[in-house]
Amino acid sequence: MAKKTKKAAPEVVEKDMTTARFDKGYAIAAFLLIVAFLASVSAAYFHSRYLMFYPEKVAEQYCSSAIVLKDDFNSLKYTSLIQNLYLGDYFRENYIRPRLAEGESVTERTPEEQGELMDKMDEIMFAYYADIIASNTDKTLDSVLTLYVDKYVETYEAVFGEPAYASVEDDLVTCFEAGVSAYSEANALDAENETVEVRKTYSDEEVAAYRAGLSEDARAEYARFGLSPDAVEGVCETQFSYTVGGEVFNVPCTLIKVGMQWYVDVTAL
């Protein structure tokens, strides 16, 4: 009778518990980081939306940005000009894209060459933005944005020796934002005690009178923003106060309510 071969016992593989604990801990940490990131993004989004429900908060953000920080461009996000649009999209769609040529550059440059040319663009455009914003009186910034983009296209062609193609759109935006930031840092006020007071909230009859009393220029601006006077459901007058060098300054600010949100009425500035 043939002798049976004894089966080998299955090999027992010991699990490295240190590695297992590390993998589990890593997964938990990664999950918590994702949750924290989503929470921060959601908080930022709802904060920006939530403050638009309160006229005094909108007035504070607008006045602090435009008056104290000297950042006229970013203050636009709190005005009737932008409403539910993204400020960056508004700038790109209305001012940048219509001025750029179709296509992209075929000129080959080294990173060093490209960097030198971009530095030259920054130097010229930073100074140009400072000049046009310092003398600006149009709170919609229509003339400023138009002049800036025209100058950028002209300067780009002179510096790079070729048209400003659509492919330079992001470079233009980056240059502009850097110029805005540089101007703000150089000219911001050393202000203290920034406060906002609601001086008057209009009744329904007063809101109707406000709409009816809009000038032709104001109505034209409303139309350009895609806003009908009939969409104005509320009006509020506020006063922004701040102190510089011991002197108190008071700035009136009128806001309109469109839907559930409040905006600074840029035609009343």
152 φψ region: left (φ > 0), alpha (ψ -120 to 50), beta (else): alpha
Identify the burial level of 226 via C-beta atoms within 10 angstroms of its C-beta, where 0-12 means exposed, 13-18 middle and 19 or more buried: exposed
Output DSSP code: residue 94: I
Higher pLDDT, 82 or 125: 125
**Is 124 a residue whose pLDDT tops 90?**
yes
| Mean pLDDT across 165-171 | 96
pTM summary value: 0.78
- Alpha carbon of 146 to those of 99, 132, 141, 172: distances in Å? 10, 11, 8, 13
**pLDDT given at position 225:** 84
**pLDDT given at position 30:** 57
Tokens of 190: 């050393």
What are the strands, taking DSSP E only, across 164-223?
192-201
**pLDDT given at position 85:** 76
**pLDDT given at position 44:** 44
Phi, psi dihedral angles at 57 (to 5 degrees): -70, -40
Nearest residue to 191 (alpha-carbon basis) of 76, 64, 78: 64
Give the pairing type, strands 192-201 and 261-264.
unpaired
